[in-house]
Amino acid sequence: MTSSLAEIPVTSSERSRDRRRKKKKAHARSRAQQNSESCYAKWKSESQQQLYSSKLVQALSQIRLGDTAAPPRGRTVREAADRALAFAAKGKTRWSRAILTNRVKLRFGKQRRPGSTSAVAALTGSSRSKKPKVSVLRLKGKSLPTVQKKVKVLGRLVPGCRKEPLPVILEEATDYIAALEMQVRAMSALTRILSSAGPSSSSAIDAVSDPPPSG
Amino acid sequence: MSSRRSHSRQSGSSRITEDQIADLVSKLQRLIPELRNRHSDKVSASKVLQETCNYIRSLHKEVDDLSERLSELLASLETDSDQAAIIRSLLM
């Protein structure tokens, strides 16, 4: 066994540390007015990545068991990864709620908005469904068309932010970028582990660790 | 009476000022690896937003590539059930 397997340990000592870290983080977040910085730290933390990795692995194993006939497509894996990421966000951001809402819609058919928001609230335990009614037109000074245009493009990239006002889009984008970076880190670690443990690469491992004697 | 524009127009719960927007933009700038080294004064908001969009797109692409790779790995794992059982017990 390679030591890289220790990258994803799920031991009880880690969990107690996670709980303490989460309590500290929740306390800091409630105190701090500008929570975007602690949000970024949250996505950088080990506990968050472990939570995401275990959720992702769960989802991936479900894919394999449920669909043994056809091999899993990249699209399916991507959706599972996004779902796990949105779950890790715990419903506190719009993009995570939008991702979960989209999945719920696809599962149960086209649901109306009130139904899907209540379903999302049930999933994530969050009751925030109100949006501040600040329209973009009221912002003074930011009537520069380039900035507006670019923020609109950004709003299309971040899920669930197409109709949001400018500051909301910027806030969501900061959290979304940090979350995406964590997703990339977790998925690359998982890929490394799976590719080193897979049967097709066992010869590669032999070549790396034990160069064949020449001659 | 001096007219305070920031007070009169906003009837919503949140007052959005230029400073807040500049603050959000600078926070965004700190996250983007390409713009992190430059001084925030010299980078315009539109450039920050442009780089943000590019960065998000590149992250999406990376996630897509990783998903493809993971799906291939999962497919290759399915062919060997012993390996799959070991890996499953290790990862869960």
Helix (H) or strand (E) holding A37: helix A36-44
From A139, A141, A173, residue closest to B52, measured CB to CB: A173
* Residue among B80, B64, B26, B68 at smallest CA distance from A171: B26
Say whether A135 sits in a helix, a strand or coil: coil
Scanning B27-86 for CB atoms below 8 A from A yields 27-28, 31-32, 45-46, 49-50, 52-53, 55-57, 59-60, 62-64, 66-71, 73-80, 83-84, 86
Which residues on chain A are in Cβ contact (under 8 Å) with B18? 140-142
Of residues B42 and B78, which shows the higher confidence score?
A: B42
pLDDT classification of B88: cutoffs 50, 70, 90: low
Of residues A195 and A17, which shows the higher confidence score?
A: A195
* Whole-angstrom distance, CA of residue A6 vs CA of residue A175: 28
pLDDT of residue B10: 46
Which residues on chain A are in Cβ contact (under 8 Å) with B92? 57-58, 61
A14-19's contacts with Cβ under 8 Å and 24+ in sequence apart are: A14/A47, A14/A50, A17/A47, A18/A47, A18/A50, A18/A51
Are residues B31 and A40, on separate chains, in Cβ contact within 8 Å?
yes
Are residues B56 and A60, on separate chains, in Cβ contact within 8 Å?
no
- Residue matched to tokens 């977790």: A186
A208, pLDDT greater than 70: no
Q: Which class for B3: exposed (0-12), middle (13-18), buried (19 or more C-beta within 10 A)?
A: exposed
pLDDT tens, residue by residue, A84-97 = 888 888 878 888 88
CATH number for the domain spanning B71: value is 4.10.280
Kindly report the average pLDDT of chain A as a whole number.
68
Kindly report whether the global pTM for this prediction surpasses the value 0.80.
Answer: no
* Residue among B67, B59, B82, B49 at smallest CA distance from A74: B67
Of residues B65 and A31, which shows the higher confidence score?
A: B65
Are residues B24 and A134, on separate chains, in Cβ contact within 8 Å?
no
pLDDT tens, residue by residue, A20-42 = 666 665 555 454 444 545 666 77
Shortest alpha-carbon distance between residue A39 and chain B (Å): 12
Number of domains composing chain B: 1
Shortest alpha-carbon distance between residue B38 and chain A (Å): 18
* Whole-angstrom distance, CA of residue A55 vs CA of residue A38: 22
* Whole-angstrom distance, CA of residue A108 vs CA of residue A106: 6
Which domain, by its residues, includes B31?
3-91
